[in-house]
Amino acid sequence: MAAVQETVEQVRSIDVDQYKYGFETQIESEKAPKGLSEEVIRFISAKKEEPEWMLDLRLDAYRRWLSMSEPTWARVDFPQIDFQDLYYYSAPKKFKAPKSLDEVDPEILKTYEKLGIPLREQEILAGVEVPEGERPRIAVDAVFDSVSVATTFKEELKAAGVIFMPISEALREHPDLVKKYLGSVVPVTDNFYATLNSAVFSDGSFVYIPPGVRCPMELSTYFRINEKNTGQFERTLIIADKGSYVSYLEGCTAPQRDENQLHAAVVELVVLDDAEIKYSTVQNWYPGDSEGKGGIYNFVTKRGDCRGKNSKISWTQVETGSAITWKYPSCVLRGEGSSGEFYSIAISNGRQQVDSGTKMIHLGKNTTSRIISKGISAGRSNNTYRGLVSAHRKAEGARNFTNCDSLLIGNACGAHTVPYIEAKNPKAQFEHEATTSKISEDMLFYCMQRGLSQEDAVALVVNGFVRDVLQQLPMEFAVEAQKLISISLEGSVG
Amino acid sequence: MAADVRLMKTAAELALADAFAAVKSTLPGDAAVAAQRTAAFETFASVGLPHRRVESWRYTDLRALLREAPPLASAAGPEALARSLAACPMLAGMEARRIYVVNGAFVSDISDLANLEPGVSISSLATALGAADPLVAHLGQTVASSDAALALNTAFMGDGVVIALAEGATLSRPLHLVFVTTEATATAAYTRSLLVMGKGASAQVIESHEGPAGAAYQVNTALEVVVGEGASLERVKITAEGNDALHISTLLARVADGAKLANANFTLGGAIIRNQLLVQLAGEGIDASLSGVSLLAGKQHSDTLLAVEHIAPNCQSREQFRTVVDDTARDIFQGRISVRQSAQKTDARMMSRALLLSDTAESDNKPELEIFADDVQCGHGCTTGSLDQQLKFYMMSRGIPEKEAEALLIQAFVGEVIDAIGHEGVRAALTDATRNWLIERK
Amino acid sequence: MTPLLEIRDLHAEIAGGRKIINGMNLTINPGEVHAIMGPNGAGKSTLSYVLSGKPGYEITGGEVIFRGVNLQELSPDERAAQGLFLCFQYPLEIPGVSNMAFLHTAANSQRKKRGEPELTSPELVRKVRELGKQLGIDTDMLKRPVNVGFSGGEKKRNETLQMMLLEPYLSILDEADSGLDIDALKVVSNGVNAMRSPERSMLVITHYQRLLDYIVPDVVHVFAAGRIVHTGGKELALELEATGYAQYQNEAA
């Protein structure tokens, strides 16, 4: 029952007392001057030894950003951010792209070990057959503040034709691929935070899966914000060429700090004919303390473009961290017969504010989408599902099924559902249902009559509530999610 | 960013400002009412006509749709009044007390004001405002709203019906408020009505709106309702405006302990129709039902905004909306159920369903939940699609012609709402109206 | 012999003040099967909730001693660990929680409270599958969420399986036959009868005599207006079937 116990703890107080990843790594870093200007952007671009066109793209984004204003439609409330009071680039000092893990600063390796990501141990396993039943191997790109510090399994992936490297490296090694797809899903001017990201993004992962290749292992990026007053602006670009498949995982943590920190990432997915990307996130940024002090502002733009016929994108997210979450992983269902999925668990507590959901934009014929969202609000938090499902004129035969359920624990929190359902085609069929309730007292009594303590009964019911979504996570990641919302009952019995 | 301050005012906005300046001194009411009008117009002027950046109007851009501000409608002549008596033919046979508001003015001459039930009073708003009737103190006090269209109504309200039911008063037959526009030219009418129901009072109220085809007239009408403790109100609103008309209607209802409110909207006619339903369940143990049927064809654009606010514990609300959209028509439903922290044990369910009959029909649906109390059961559902082809095939295989099979399915679809209407005569009339709409459908 | 359950002058009400149990006395010795019969609305289900400790049901007078412990001081899960099992008239559905996981959690929660070694997964799975076979519950049903989408009969079989796995000292069967066809009734009764032993007792709450053909009681009580108004042997059930409850209702009033 340990896992169940942990769920209760987690649900009760996802705050400073519970946050296990709040330590800080003592390491010297090199920063760009504070604030944002063309000079800072040139500095970042020069640091990354980028091609000229990339610098131009950044500067163009910056100039456009100056004339934009922050979105105000989300149900989140926070003081105005002073964008001149942030560092936009921070890298471990003496940093140069390591050729092997031996060149990585041992302090950083230790950090990732503490976070449960033993890069070295993984690397040792490279090329070794994994006995059945053992942990499957995962290639990891570890991003520390503004730079990627290590990427494992590079060679083995290369042999399969898969490109998996920091985007800064890809800009140098595969400029044509990056140029072709970067900004093609999330345009430079998409929204305030995405435009800011386009101007200043520092690192992130680049993945290209060639035609017909099923990526031989899970790919994963682990983000860590360490430095103070530093924004993290990573950029991820994943391209699944015709008939390929990749499962990609993303994790994130940050030290406990009293100040709020900004994380404004952009993720772009491109899926061509018959290809599939499965993108999973366990978001565990520092949420601030129980009084709402500190925590990450997580303003993220994630979008996938199902460009090819019968292509597929599946987003799964487990959101437990961040002071504010503003995030809508979306699918543009362009290719005929393409499909999009969004599975989400969002838990909010303390003073956390979550405004998250998805957009399923049906453009092509016979496109399908499915949305399963489970929100759990506790403490004094507010948890909003916001989603759009739309069918355009040509989206004949489009289908969507949406289910949004919210659970309230305690009487000082809020749970909100704001769906937009827009149909311009009669042959599109949309179904949406949503419920909000507290845990049924009768259900709890039934469990207790069978011998479960009240806490265990609550945990059991919560576990059941989120199960549909948890099942979507890749096995390996489910373990990490279990640590967060611990739903390990299934595994314990045959 | 002060994005709301716009440098350019549209022609219609400027015309509205001119019109208000010109008529405000002639509109009924004392100094306090005049101040209320001015404040309301300032509210309007500060934001202008609602546009798609205003969330509650995101699908109906009034700034683009309302191009002109036509002159206020003038009083109808005898011939027009005589014609008005034949208004709302679908309810012609029904026993009811009929009150006429023609071209925005309460017409007592043709209204049935004789032998009012004990404890019941009915008068014109203009008269009530002129005489500083204490009832008018309710105006603007039922449900707070900063809606710009409602602000325009408050600024310009010329006349309407003021109804009061004393404690325990009961209407022996339905009250039918017949709103008619008779002029064939473009005019504007701003009517405001008030219904105040005392403890345990009971009423059935029908409101119908209609006018001539081919006239680009505008109607901005509002009804404020106070449903007292244990009172019971069934209201049915039939919108059957002319095919070029713009119709904006706002219901503001405040409901007290143990009361019952059933409101049904039936929308058939008008070029642009906007129905706003703002309902506050302010007392415990209320049973509320808000429902609607829209039958849209041609280029019609109908937008329903519903906001039900649960404030007190142990209330139940049911929201049921059905819409059938043909040709290039567009239906919009934005419904929000809010549950405040004080409203424990709320039981609220909303269902909105759209049936699209043509390739160019459109439906936008935004069913929203906003919950701050934990011990609640709330849900909403929403579906969009075309007729069930399998059902249609099944019926055709039994010998029913395609058109008829469709008609039967559509009637069953809207029947779920119509059948729940309490008054048998109204129910039958709306069922017939649906059938006629289906027959006229090409 | 120490009684297993002793109810002394019990008064109880539903939160909000409606008095349902009104001076009830009952003693059940180990190994006995008691039936409680009575008209609808007599408070039979309330009795089962009061005994198992459902929130909102309050004891306002008297006491209930179960295996030497005053039940009023125990939470529902502690009562369960003491060996009190309620077979629900309307078993609850728990979405997302598989039957097997639920059984595992319940069995080990109780064992832990009693200081007994917990069952390992293989042990439990073996045990549950055996019981499932007896009750006609297939493996698929065990993987499905608790009671979700189960028919009335399947739910009752599932309740019986839980009872047989948890091996309680006292099983309260609340209208165990409602929603059952004859075949399911036989399966459930066989399961219940298999549980009968010198140290285990049952309290069978039922409106109809039918169930008592299958689960034959030692003692039959007539329950009306919140207390026991008449007690007899198993033949009393047949008598009631013929004459109805009217005479006892008058008696209670």
A451 touches chain C (CB under 8 A): yes
List pLDDT tens digits, range C185-232: 888 898 889 999 999 999 999 888 888 999 999 999 999 888 899 999
Phi, psi of C151 (to 5 degrees): -75, 170
Determine whether the interchain pair A438/B374 forms a contact, defined as Cβ–Cβ distance below 8 Å. Answer: yes
Q: Taking residues A122-148, what's their average pLDDT?
A: 58
- Find where tokens 């106070």 sit: B226
Please give the pLDDT value at position A18.
Answer: 55
Nearest Cα neighbor of B361 from A399, A392, A426, A364 is A426
B373 touches chain A (CB under 8 A): yes
A409: tokens are 């624990």
Please give the pLDDT value at position B260.
Answer: 98
Determine whether the interchain pair C105/A440 forms a contact, defined as Cβ–Cβ distance below 8 Å. Answer: no
Contact A14, A347 (CB under 8 A): yes
Determine whether the interchain pair B373/A426 forms a contact, defined as Cβ–Cβ distance below 8 Å. Answer: no
B137: tokens are 């103190």
Could you give the CA distance from residue A306 to residue B231 in angstroms, rounded to a whole number? 56
Nearest Cα neighbor of A58 from A89, A80, A34 is A89
B375 touches chain A (CB under 8 A): yes
Please give the pLDDT value at position A220.
Answer: 84
Instruction: Report the 10 Å Cβ neighbour count for C178.
Output: 14
Please give the pLDDT value at position C116.
Answer: 93
> What subunits make at least 3 CB pairs under 8 angstroms with B?
A
Q: Smallest Cβ distance to B373: which of A411, A420, A434?
A: A411
Rg over alpha carbons for chain C, rounded to the nearest Å, is: 18
Task: Give the pLDDT band (50/70/90) at residue A118.
Answer: low
The chain-wide mean pLDDT, for chain A, equals 82
Please give the pLDDT value at position B22.
Answer: 94
On chain A, the residues whose CB falls within 8 A of the CB of B386 are: 426-427, 429
On chain A, the residues whose CB falls within 8 A of the CB of B367 are: 417, 419, 421, 432, 434
Q: Smallest Cβ distance to C105: which of A441, A445, A452?
A: A452
Please give the pLDDT value at position B397.
Answer: 78
Q: Which residue has the higher pLDDT, C99 or B274?
A: B274
Q: Which residue has the higher pLDDT, C179 or B356?
A: B356
Please give the pLDDT value at position A2.
Answer: 36
Please give the pLDDT value at position A149.
Answer: 67
Could you give the CA distance from residue C88 to residue C111 in angstroms, rounded to a whole number? 22
A2 touches chain C (CB under 8 A): no
Q: Has residue A203 got a pLDDT over 90?
A: no
Candidates A66, A388, A425: best to mutate against B (most CBs of B within 10 A) is A425
User: For the CA atoms of B7, B10, B16, B22, what is the dihedral angle to 10 degrees?
Assistant: 70
Residues in chain A: 494
Task: Give the pLDDT band (50/70/90) at residue A491.
Answer: very low
Percent of chain A at pLDDT exceeding 90 = 42
- Going by their DSSP bridges, the two strands B377-385 and A429-438 should be labelled as antiparallel
Our measurement of the distance from residue B162's CA atom to the centroid of its chain's CA atoms, rounded to an integer in Å, reads 17
Contact B379, B350 (CB under 8 A): yes
Backbone dihedral region for residue B111 (phi beyond 0: left; psi -120 to 50: alpha; all else: beta): beta
Looking at CA atoms only, how far is residue B302 from chain A in angstroms?
Answer: 14
Could you give the CA distance from residue B76 to residue A388 in angstroms, rounded to a whole number? 48
Please enumerate in sequence order all residues whose Cβ is within 8 A of that of B230, keeping only pairs 6 or more positions apart, or say none.
Answer: B199, B200, B256, B257, B258, B259
| B and C in touch (3+ CB pairs within 8 angstroms) | no
Q: Which residue has the higher pLDDT, C182 or A21?
A: C182
Of A219-228, A352-361, B27-36, C58-67, minimum mean pLDDT range: A219-228
B64: tokens are 């683009």
On chain A, the residues whose CB falls within 8 A of the CB of C92 are: 440, 442-443, 446
CA nearest to A488 within chain C: C101
Percent of chain A at pLDDT exceeding 70 = 81
Task: Give the pLDDT band (50/70/90) at residue A10.
Answer: very low
List pLDDT tens digits, range A376-403: 888 888 999 999 999 999 999 999 999 9
Task: Give the pLDDT band (50/70/90) at residue A190.
Answer: very high
The DSSP bridge partners found for residue A372 are A343, A403
List pLDDT tens digits, range A331-382: 999 999 999 999 999 988 888 999 999 999 999 999 999 999 999 888 888 9
Q: What is the DSSP string of A161-209?
A: T-EEEEHHHHHHH-HHHHHHHTTSSS-TTSSHHHHHHHHH--B-EEEEE
List pLDDT tens digits, range C7-39: 999 999 987 778 889 999 999 999 999 999 988
Phi, psi of A38 (to 5 degrees): -60, -35
Q: Which residue numbers of C have CB closer than 8 Å to A's CBs?
A: 52-56, 75-77, 79-81, 85-86, 88, 91-92, 94-98, 100-102, 104-110, 112-113, 121-122, 124-125, 145, 162, 166
Contact C248, C230 (CB under 8 A): yes
Contact B105, B126 (CB under 8 A): yes
B329: tokens are 């028509």
Task: Give the pLDDT band (50/70/90) at residue A122.
Answer: low
Determine whether the interchain pair A445/C121 forms a contact, defined as Cβ–Cβ distance below 8 Å. Answer: no
**b/e per residue A78-101 (b: at least 16 CB within 10 A):** eeeeeeeebbbbbbbeebebeeeb
Task: Give the pLDDT band (50/70/90) at residue A492.
Answer: very low
Please give the pLDDT value at position A121.
Answer: 54
A455 touches chain C (CB under 8 A): no
CA nearest to A451 within chain C: C77
Q: Which residue has the higher pLDDT, A473 or B206?
A: B206
Task: Flag residues of chain B having pLDDT under 50.
Answer: 1-5, 7
Candidates A400, A406, A407, A436: best to mutate against B (most CBs of B within 10 A) is A436
ipTM of the shown complex: 0.86
One-letter amino acid for residue A387 of the chain = G
On chain B, the residues whose CB falls within 8 A of the CB of A378 are: none
Looking at CA atoms only, how far is residue A491 from chain C in angstroms?
Answer: 9
- Find where tokens 């980028």 sit: A50
Q: Has residue A274 got a pLDDT over 80?
A: yes
Nearest Cα neighbor of A396 from A363, A427, A431 is A427
- Going by their DSSP bridges, the two strands C69-70 and C57-66 should be labelled as antiparallel
The chain-wide mean pLDDT, for chain C, equals 89
CB contacts under 8 A, A 425-444 vs B, are 425-438
One-letter amino acid for residue C34 of the chain = H
Task: Give the pLDDT band (50/70/90) at residue A487.
Answer: very low
A127 touches chain C (CB under 8 A): no
Q: Has residue A15 got a pLDDT over 60?
A: no
C102: tokens are 């639920």
Please give the pLDDT value at position A95.
Answer: 59
CA nearest to A431 within chain B: B383
A422 touches chain B (CB under 8 A): yes
A79 touches chain B (CB under 8 A): no
Please give the pLDDT value at position A483.
Answer: 57
Please enumerate in sequence order all residues whose Cβ is within 8 A of that of A160, keeping only pairs 6 or more positions apart, or say none.
Answer: A213, A215, A216
Nearest Cα neighbor of A482 from A273, A492, B285 is A492
Please give the pLDDT value at position A20.
Answer: 66
